[in-house]
Amino acid sequence: MVDKYLPPRKRYRTRLINYYLFFKGVSILFNIGNDLKEAREKSGVSLEEAAKDIQIKSVILENIEEGNIGAFKDIFELKNHLSTYAKYLGLNALEILDEFNEYMFEYTSKIPIKDIEKKVMEQNKEKTEVIASPYTKPMKKYPKKYYVIMCVIFIIVAILIICWSIQQIATTNYL
């Protein structure tokens, strides 16, 4: 549903999260969704009535109750809907959010630090785009080979000029 609006990288990440949740076997969101669904059914409220009352689309509430985490653009949107829905049903929203946060912490804490550092470095490279003014252009740095070659050429030219001038002086003295 939402995947087609996300850039390819985020789509891939969302799919990875979904696969992780699926293969793990236990989805906290699924358990939370069941609790919310049971509370809604106990109070005798239909899904459409709840959606109308709290002004959230019924598709979103259905995804929450089914535990479909991939249907959401980001985690903050999901947490906001969870909180609103839990308050509407008279459940303790803080407990539900704590349970969800604990699960997300467990998932994200398994990401290696090297991967996080690599991602931060990539983001910093993108941010450090330098805008050059014609008055403050950075100087080009040439390799040492360039300077060595230039010095050798300069010395050869100097030797040739000295030899030519000596030859000119010698030819003028004989005349």
pLDDT for 125-137, tens place per residue? 766 556 666 676 6
**Confidence at residue 1, expressed as pLDDT on a 0 to 100 scale:** 41
**DSSP one-letter string for 84-152:** HHHHHHT--HHHHHHHHHHHHHHHHTTS-HHHHHHHHHHHHHHH-PPPPPTTSPPPPPPPHHHHHHHHH
Residues above pLDDT 70, as percent of the chain:
72
Distance between CA atoms of residues 110 and 16, nearest Å: 14
pLDDT for the residue numbered 15: 55
Long-range Cβ pairs for the range 149-154 (8 Å, 24+): none
The pLDDT of residue 155 is 97
Tracing tokens 């019924």 back to the chain, one arrives at 58
**Mean pLDDT value across the chain:** 77
pLDDT digits (tens, 9 = 90+) for 80-115: 888 999 999 998 888 888 888 877 776 666 667 777
Q: Which CATH superfamily is domain 3-113 in?
A: lambda repressor-like DNA-binding domains (1.10.260.40)
User: 43-90 pLDDT, tens per residue?
Assistant: 898 889 999 999 988 888 888 888 777 777 778 888 888 899 999 999
Domain ranges of the chain: 3-113, 141-175
What does the alpha-carbon distance between residue 37 and residue 43 come to, in Å, rounded to a whole number? Answer: 10
CA angle at residue 1 from 78 to 122, to 5 degrees? 70
